Amino acid sequence: MFRVTMKEDLNEQDYYLEVEAPHVSRHWRPGQFVIIVTHERGERVPMSVATINGGRVGMFIKKLGKTSVELYRDFKVGSSLYAVAGPLGRPLKLESYGTVVLASDAVCGHAEQLGLAQELAKLGNKVISIQTFKTEKEVYPEKYLAKKYVDEHFITTLDGTAGYKGHYIDLLRELLARREVKAVFAGGVLANLKKLAEATAGLNARVYALVRTIMVDGTGMCGSCRVRYNGVIAYACRDGPWFDARLVDWDDVLRRDARFKKVEKIALDKYLAR
């Protein structure tokens, strides 16, 4: 069950992992995520879905803490994960907007772009994709970029070693000044999503963001993932994970993301010291 069918480096930190999970792939729609558990003692870890190949689900994962590092080091093609559940969350209700921009600056955002780009193109949108990396070295191999599904594709790097120099927000600002963008979908670093919400405050377009919160069950049972949205409490796993970026209380999201920082470090250090 849940056999690993492929594992590949995307760059030094991020990797692609594909597992057999036909029960998930059957009904998955863009915007939905999965929860994986490595082994019996593992944590329930939410992941965006990058690819669906028949009954196989592909993810982009960043080597960040215990689970993601262990998964990279100890799981090979042929190993099995303990659990894969999903699809979870609400599918995005996508429409024909006109010109839309996809923007991302980290794993989950890059992953979400692939599904979104294909679906938005199918709906007849003109899709522009911006993918931000730190330097040229971090840029993903071409087959894992949204490039092949979109009308225009931009790489930006913070140091300018590849593509546009700057962050997706900088390029987006320029695009917004020149083009009539009807919808923006962004995912990645939470602090930058907050900036995006500020930068698009008065914009007459939809702006959606992937709200990545700390989850346990992913089914609306525990409230770990809660986020203040439009003044009330929403559950990211059940009501999201995509929300109107400008109605999200980002300070709340950022604060709650740091809830377990201290103990998470203990787990990683202990694993690495094995």
Ligand X SMILES: Cc1cc2nc3c(=O)[nH]c(=O)nc-3n(C[C@H](O)[C@H](O)[C@H](O)COP(=O)(O)OP(=O)(O)OC[C@H]3O[C@@H](n4cnc5c(N)ncnc54)[C@H](O)[C@@H]3O)c2cc1C
Query: Interface with ligand X includes 59 (CB under 6 A)?
Result: yes
Position of tokens 């009330």?
Answer: 232
Residue 264 engages ligand X in binding (rule: CB under 6 A) = yes
Pick out residues in 233-272 that bind ligand FES (CB under 6 A): 235, 237
Site for ligand X in 96-115 (CB under 6 A): 107-108, 111
- Ranges within 207-266 binding another protein (CB under 8 A): 216-217, 219-224, 226, 228, 233, 235, 238, 249, 252, 255-256, 258-260, 262-264, 266
Please tell me the count of residues contacting ligand FES according to CB under 6 A: 12
Place of tokens 């003109």: 126
C-alpha–C-alpha distance, residues 88 and 114, integer Å: 18
**Should residue 167 be labelled a site residue for ligand X when binding is judged by CB under 6 A?**
no
* Residue 56 vs 226, nearer CB to ligand FES: 226
Mark out the alpha helices in the chain (DSSP H runs): 22-25, 66-74, 107-122, 168-178, 190-199, 236-239, 250-257, 261-272
Is the Cβ–Cβ distance between 175 and 101 less than 8 Å?
yes
Nearest-approach distance from CB 225 to ligand FES, in angstroms = 3
Listed residue (265, 130, 238, 150) closest to 192, CA to CA: 130
CB of 201 to another protein, least distance (A): 22
Contact 199, 168 (CB under 8 A): no
Return the one option of ligand FES, another protein, ligand X, none that residue 149 interacts with (CB less than 5 to 8 A, by type): none
Does residue 212 touch ligand X according to CB under 6 A? yes
Q: What is the DSSP string of 26-76?
A: TT--TT-EEEEE-STT---EEEE--EEETTEEEEEEE--SHHHHHHHHH--
Residue from the set 17, 61, 215, 253 that interacts with ligand FES by CB under 6 A? 215
Q: Which residues of this chain interact with ligand FES, rule CB under 6 A?
A: 215-218, 220-225, 235, 237
